[in-house]
Chain A
Amino acid sequence: DQQVKQNSPSLSVQEGRISILNCDYTNSMFDYFLWYKKYPAEGPTFLISISSIKDKNEDGRFTVFLNKSAKHLSLHIVPSQPGDSAVYFCAAGNSGNTPLVFGKGTRLSVIA
């Protein structure tokens, strides 16, 4: 039973345009959400997080939106750059005793 779902295995975007990566979750106890980026042969790198008391968090080119009623979050990257090409993992947890649960990842390709 997948508690965190990333339904798009891959996404291609033109350089300079917006990339939107989506993530859905089923466990209403999750109250903390993160996005990680992973290049080949490297470990996941933390990008941005959001707690359930917010619906938006922004850090430079990266913005995460949270829609609690829909149990949906998205990562917006604008403008997209070729160096953003990587696998992006969505993860969810809570401030209690529940470790992070990861989605299967979405491979983003930014085309120059």
Chain B
Amino acid sequence: DTEVTQTPKHLVMGMTNKKSLKCEQHMGHRAMYWYKQKAKKPPELMFVYSYEKLSINESVPSRFSPECPNSSLLNLHLHALQPEDSALYLCASSQEGFNQPQHFGDGTRLSIL
């Protein structure tokens, strides 16, 4: 069982829809991450939150909007996505600092029609 829970597991949406991906962890981790992974590629970092503040945005288009309501929750709000945004979206958490192992959820498989 993963200690990082992501919902939903699968999401199909049209290009005009608005939806949100959710991530939750109860390990007391203060850093949380969103990654995007395409088939046969490594995870690509999108955002990093540290102590509930956005610390890194890897030049992600504004149609992706992260939110960290509290230390256990991380959301990714989606609006006006493109077909090329179809991918596996992974959430991870870790103790503070990049020299700590990150624990991943099982991801949300997103398909844009």
Contacts and interface: CB of A to CB of B under 8 A. Distances in A.
12 contacts: A34-B101, A42-B107, A43-B4, A43-B107, A44-B90, A44-B104, A46-B101, A95-B97, A97-B98, A100-B45, A102-B43, A104-B42
Contact of B102 (A31, A46, A51, A97): A46
A97 B43 CA distance: 18
- The size class of the interface chain B forms with chain A is 20 to 34
B102 A100 contact: yes
Contact of B101 (A31, A49, A98, A103): A49
Chain A binding surface SS class: loop
B106 interface: yes
Interface of B: 2, 4, 6, 33, 40-43, 45, 48, 56, 90, 92, 97-99, 101-107
